[in-house]
Structure 1
């Protein structure tokens, strides 16, 4: 299967939202999510932003999340790359 839809929750928990926004901040953009009290995404949109980057704590947590995700998914990524 070429496309497998995922939830915003999984995208956030994997660190991919942080990673994408880290790159987008270079150009003054971000992916913004509105989240309700239950943690469910109620709206999402791209936005122009004036800030660049994240705090050291957020970066550390982001790198940990992405590293954990890569550790758990590296074999599948490798196999997909050969298809």
Structure 2
């Protein structure tokens, strides 16, 4: 099953932040351009985010998991 979502939803749920926290280890990031609604990879010099950005990201991902955990578990066990 594929259920297409928008980049805005992906970002609003903290998933762009979550993915970029891993990509930063390798000096990469995903950039979202809201005007064209496109996403592209880029090299970056920075590693990680500020404490405030991380806190916000953890809250968003936690909320997403709380809202979707039953469905995620069901899908994992199918």
Taking structure 2 as the reference length, what is the TM-score of the superposition?
Answer: 0.94
Report the count of equivalent residues.
78
Q: Which runs of 4+ in 1 moved over 4 A?
A: none
Unpaired stretches in structure 2, ≥5 consecutive residues: none
Listed as ranges, the gaps of 5+ residues in structure 1 are none
TM normalised by structure 1 equals 0.89
For the aligned residue pairs, the C-alpha RMSD in angstroms reads 1.0
Whose helix proportion is higher, 1 or 2?
Answer: 2
The question of whether the paired residues in 1 share the 8 Å contact of 2:30 and 2:39 is answered with yes
Q: Which residue number in structure 1 is paired with residue 49 of structure 2?
A: 54
Q: Deviations over 1:27-79 (max 9, x none)?
A: 0000001123xxxx533100011100000000000000000000000000000
Aligned to 1:43: 38
Measure, in 2, the Cα distance between the counterparts of 1:77 and 1:43: 27
